C-alpha cells in the first residue's frame, strides 16, 4: 500500500473508452499532443489503449525523449509541470497513464484478478507505447514512486530495454517489504496527535471514517507533499484515482499499513544488478523511500543518488527549481 499514491475512495465507475485520437508530431513545445496507443495484452489477448501526452518534437535530433511513469494509483496529470524541461531544455516529454488508471483502458471485469494486474503487464504496456511512438532506438525513462517498479522491470530485462539510454528512479524502493518497513518508521515520526488517530481507527476497523481520512491527509502533509496548498495538477490526479480503485486494490491490496496485492512480493534485490544504463536516484529527506532504496544504490553499477533536503515524495512541487535543474543536467550532459 505504501507506493499506493493516494487514499482511494473506491468508487466504481463504468470503464470509459474513447476513440483513438489521430497521432501526429507536435511542432510547438508548449502545446502537447495527446493520443491513444493501441496494443494487445499478451496474457489474455485483450485489446487495450494507452493514453499519452507528448510535449515537444519526438523527431528532434536535439535531445533524447523522456518517458515519464506515474506513481501507483495516480495518473499523468500531476506530472504535467515536467513540460518545463521541454520549454527550457528542449527535452521532449511523454506522459502516459498506466492501464487501469486515468484515461487509459480500464478492465472492470479483471477486478481482483492478480494474474492480470501485474508489474509485467504494465512493463509490457510501457514497451508497446515506446514502440508505437517510434522511439525504441533511443529514449530515457523517469519513474516516480510505483513508476520506478515498472522502470526497473523494463531496464533489467534485455528483451525490453533496447534503446533505453538513461534511467531516473525518483522515490523508488528496493522491495515492497522494505517499503512497508520504512512506511512504519515514517509513521512513528509523525506528530503524536495524527498518529494516535490513524492507529485508533485502524485498530477499530473504522478507516472509512471522516476523521481517519482527515488524519491521513494531515500525515500526507508530512511525507507526501509538504506544500500547504496542493497544486491543481495533483488534485486532478487524486480526483481520477477516486473514480476507479479496482486496479490499485488488485495491485496493492486494501491495507493502509502493508502491501498486500499482486505486487506484495516484488523485489529488485536481484534484478537491480542487471540495470546497465546510468541511473540517477532521487528522493526527499522526508520521503518514505530513503533506507528502502539503499540496496538499489549498492546494486546498480552506474549510479548517483541525490536527496532533496526540504522535500518528501513530490520533489517537483516541493523543490521545483532544484528538481528541474537536477533532471535536465543529468539528461543533457554526456
Ligand X SMILES: *[C@@H]1O[C@H](CO)[C@@H](O)[C@H](O)[C@H]1NC(C)=O
- Choice between 3 and 54, CB closer to ligand X: 3
**Nearest CB to ligand X, comparing residues 43 and 184:** 43
Q: How far is the CB of 120 from ligand X (least distance, A)?
A: 10
Least spacing, CB of residue 165 vs ligand X, in Å: 18
- Decide: is 264 part of the binding site for ligand X (CB under 6 A): yes
* 197 lines the binding site for ligand X (CB under 6 A): yes
Strands of the sheet with 139-144, listed across from one edge:
33-40, 47-55, 93-96, 66-69, 139-144, 164-170, 279-284, 303-308
The residue among 217 and 271 lying less far from ligand X, judged by its C-beta, is 271
For residue 13, the minimal CB distance to ligand X (Å) is 20
Least separation in angstroms between residue 5's CB and ligand X is: 19
Q: CB of 248: closest distance to ligand X in angstroms?
A: 15
- Provide CB contacts within 8 A for 67, sequence distance 6+: 94, 96, 126, 129, 130, 135, 139, 140, 141, 142
Per-residue cell: 67: 518517458
Q: According to the binding rule CB under 6 A, does residue 44 interact with ligand X? A: yes
Q: 321 and 310 in contact (C-beta within 8 Å)?
A: no
Q: Which of 146, 39, 56 is nearest to 101 (CA)?
A: 146
As a 3-state breakdown, the chain gives helix, strand, coil percent values, each rounded to 5, of 40, 15, 45
* Span of 54-62, 147-155, 268-276, 298-306 interacting with ligand X by CB under 6 A: 268-276
Sequence-separated (6 or more) residues with CB below 8 Å from residue 11: 242, 243, 244, 245
Give whichever of 204 and 239 is closer to ligand X, judged by the CB atom: 204
Contacts with ligand X, residue ranges (CB under 6 A) = 43-44, 113-116, 156, 158, 197, 200-201, 204, 206, 226-227, 262, 264-265, 270-271, 274, 310, 318
Amino acid at each position: 500500500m505504501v507506493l499506493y499514491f493516494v487514499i482511494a475512495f473506491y468508487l466504481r465507475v463504468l470503464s470509459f473508452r474513447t476513440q483513438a485520437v489521430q497521432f501526429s508530431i507536435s511542432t510547438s513545445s508548449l502545446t502537447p499532443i495527446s493520443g491513444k496507443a493501441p496494443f494487445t495484452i499478451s496474457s489474455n489477448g485483450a485489446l487495450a489503449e494507452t493514453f499519452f501526452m507528448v510535449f515537444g518534437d519526438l523527431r528532434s535530433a536535439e535531445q533524447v525523449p523522456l518517458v515519464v511513469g506515474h506513481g501507483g494509483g495516480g495518473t499523468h496529470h500531476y506530472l504535467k509541470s515536467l513540460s518545463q524541461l521541454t520549454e527550457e531544455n528542449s527535452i521532449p516529454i511523454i506522459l502516459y497513464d498506466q492501464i487501469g488508471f486515468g484515461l487509459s483502458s480500464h478492465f472492470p471485469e479483471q477486478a481482483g484478478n492478480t494474474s492480470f494486474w501485474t508489474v509485467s503487464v504494465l512493463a509490457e504496456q510501457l514497451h508497446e507505447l515506446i514502440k508505437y511512438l517510434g522511439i525504441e532506438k533511443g529514449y530515457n525513462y523517469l519513474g516516480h514512486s510505483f513508476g520506478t517498479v515498472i522502470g526497473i522491470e523494463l531496464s533489467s530485462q534485455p528483451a525490453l530495454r533496447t534503446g533505453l539510454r538513461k534511467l531516473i528512479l525518483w522515490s523508488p524502493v528496493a522491495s515492497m517489504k522494505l517499503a512497508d518497513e520504512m512506511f512504519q518508521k515514517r509513521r512513528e515520526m509523525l506528530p503524536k496527535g495524527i498518529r494516535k488517530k490513524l492507529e485508533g481507527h485502524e485498530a477499530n476497523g473504522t478507516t472509512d471514517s471522516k476523521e481517519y481520512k482527515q488524519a491521513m491527509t494531515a500525515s500526507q502533509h508530512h511525507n507526501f507533499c509538504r506544500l500547504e496548498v496542493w497544486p491543481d495538477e495533483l488534485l486532478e490526479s487524486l480526483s481520477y484515482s477516486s473514480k476507479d480503485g479496482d486496479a490499485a486494490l488488485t495491485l496493492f491490496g486494501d491495507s493502509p499499513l502493508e502491501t498486500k496485492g499482486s505486487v506484495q512480493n516484488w523485489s529488485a534485490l536481484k534484478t537491480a544488478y542487471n540495470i546497465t544504463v546510468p541511473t540517477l536516484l532521487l528522493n526527499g529527506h522526508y520521503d518514505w523511500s530513503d533506507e528502502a532504496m539503499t540496496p538499489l544504490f549498492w546494486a546498480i553499477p552506474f549510479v548517483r543518488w541525490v536527496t532533496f533536503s526540504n522535500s518528501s515524495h513530490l520533489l517537483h512541487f516541493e523543490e521545483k527549481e532544484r528538481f528541474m535543474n537536477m533532471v535536465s543536467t543529468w539528461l543533457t550532459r554526456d
